[in-house]
Amino acid sequence: MHAIASDHIPERLFPVIDALCATGIGVAGIIARGPLGQSLHHGVGENTGGDQQKALDVIADEAFEQALGPAGVRYYASEEQEGVLTLGEGPFALAIDPLDGSSNIDVNVSIGTIFSVFEAKDGAEESFLRPASEQIAAGYIIYGPQTGLAVTFGQGTLMFVLDPETQVFELAEEAMAIPEAAKEYSINAGYRRHWPGWVKSFVEECEAGVEGPRGRDYSFRWVASLVAETHRILTRGGTFLYAGDARPAYAKGRLRMVYEVAPMAMLIEQAGGLATDGKTPILELTAESLHGKAPFVFGCRDEVTRVAELHG
Ligand code: AFP
């Protein structure tokens, strides 16, 4: 019994997507039990990037690592692992944030798993330190009121929903389309004093609303869960900004290029949106290190274009 029903998945990638979905169903069950099950949100250490590791980060990482080798993944690069793991002799290299948004685990807010797939090269690290445009698949599983899967293979962005009765992911939308213009913008406004000028200018234009240069009112949204923000923007539009700011260690923002920024950029662009580092398309960039960060601005074309004008 497969975990996903769809003839919209390239045959050679189906085992990988099916393994991601089957593992995701297990992770969703653990999350749904919350405090009734094992403790999920207590700190268990630090990952390579210096971020605090929660118990669920490690549980999810171990589950995906176990499942993906037999599915054809040769190299496994995870936020929760220092280096690249060799899982088998399959044709693919998969980068993953096993559990993104872990600061939301204990408050029952949507969190997710983000993944990016390349054809494996001869070397482990070189299979990931390459132009983001070479991704052959990218997506996320969202653990929320619905458990969902957004995925792209370079021919548009598809959305699936897990049917709770059959425990199978079913196709809900085969061509997600982001609106041209946004009505919402997303940024952690708590750090306004640290923002670069172009970020402040964009946000102030949104705050000026219908009387300002944008000529319409905007609502502000911040969930602090990249998967939840991306799902909302894919579904109804918006603009997301996490640029570099003046805080120590935030010169390139907070989000990681290989397993957060690059896969989300592919999903967004395949749905007709734009994804940049503030001015340069993410898909034109090459990761310099496994856990390196990248400034990230994505969403509706009109807004991301305006951000690039202000950045310039
Ligand atoms: P955690 O996984 O540590 O919760 O970080 C989540 C995240 O990487 C991304 O999902 C959010 O968009 C972003 O951090 C939120 O960052 P702030 O906590 O600085 O708002």
Task: Locate the ligand 1 atom nearest the alpha carbon of residue 99 and give its number.
Answer: 2
**Which phi and psi (to 5°) does residue 92 adopt?**
-115, 155
CA 287 – ligand 1 centroid, Å: 20
Q: Output the CA 276–ligand 1 centroid distance in Å.
A: 18
Domain ranges in the chain are: 11-173, 184-311
pLDDT at 191: 97
Provide the CATH topology of domain 11-173: Fructose-1,6-Bisphosphatase; Chain A, domain 1 (3.30.540)
* More confident of the two residues 42 and 57: 57
Q: How far apart are CA 214 and CA 283, in angstroms?
A: 27
Longest dimension (CA), the chain: 59
pLDDT at residue 37, rounded to an integer:
86
User: What mean pLDDT comes out for the span 169-185?
Assistant: 95
Cα 140 from chain centre: 6
Question: In the beta sheet, which residues pair with residue 54?
Answer: 43
pLDDT at position 43 is: 83
Q: Whose CA is nearest to atom 5 of ligand 1?
A: 101
What is the pLDDT, as a whole number, of residue 170? Answer: 97
Note the pLDDT tens digit of each residue in 55-95.
Answer: 999 999 999 999 999 999 999 999 999 999 999 999 999 99
Distances from the Cα of 97 to the Cα of 115, 118, 226, 303, angstroms = 7, 15, 11, 27
Q: What is the average pLDDT across 128-136?
A: 98
**Which region among 28-37, 221-230, 256-265 has the lowest average model confidence (pLDDT)?**
28-37
Whether residue 48 is predicted with pLDDT greater than 80 in this model: the reply is no
- How many angstroms does the Cα of residue 237 sit away from the middle of ligand 1? 20
236-261 pLDDT tens trace: 999 999 999 999 999 999 999 999 99
Index of the ligand 1 atom closest to the CA of residue 103: 4
CB 157 within 8 A of CB 267: yes
Q: How far apart are CA 259 and CA 291, in angstroms?
A: 8
In the predicted structure, residue 264 carries a pLDDT above the cut 90: yes
pLDDT at 47: 81
State the pLDDT at residue 224: 96
Nearest-CA residue for atom 16 of ligand 1: 224
Portion of the chain with pLDDT greater than 70, in percent: 100
Ligand 1 centroid from CA 45, angstroms: 17
Q: Which atom of ligand 1 is nearest to the CA of 225?
A: 10
Question: How far is the centre of ligand 1, averaged over its atoms, from the C-alpha of 66 (Å)?
Answer: 26
Among the ranges given (6-20, 31-45, 108-122), the one the predictor scored with the smallest mean pLDDT: 31-45
Question: What is the atom index within ligand 1 of the atom nearest the CA of 97?
Answer: 2
Q: Which two tokens stand for residue 210?
A: 């219908």
Residue in 100, 187, 247 to alter for ligand 1 test, most ligand atoms within 8 A of Cβ: 100
Average predicted confidence (pLDDT) for the chain: 96
pTM over 0.95: yes
d(CA 92, CA 72) in angstroms, rounded, equals: 6
* Of 242, 250, 258, best ligand 1 pocket probe by most atoms within 8 Å of the beta carbon: 242
- Output the CA 226–ligand 1 centroid distance in Å: 7
pLDDT at 53 over 90: no
Atom number in ligand 1 closest to CA 188? 20
Handedness of CA 209, 294, 98, 121 (dihedral sign): positive
* The listed CATH number (3.40.190.80, 3.50.50.60, 1.20.1050.40, 3.80.10.10) that belongs to domain 184-311: 3.40.190.80
* Average pLDDT estimate for 227-237: 98
Ligand 1 pocket, residues with Cβ under 6 angstroms: 51, 100-103, 188, 224-226, 254-255
Determine the Cα–Cα distance for residues 139 and 157; give it in Å rounded to an integer.
9
- Indicate left, alpha or beta for 59 from its phi (over 0: left) and psi (-120 to 50: alpha): alpha
Q: Is the pLDDT of residue 32 over 90?
A: yes
Distance 107 CA to ligand 1 centre (A): 14
Which strands make up the sheet holding 137-143, listed edge to edge? 4-5, 168-173, 157-163, 147-152, 137-143, 111-119, 92-100, 73-78, 85-86
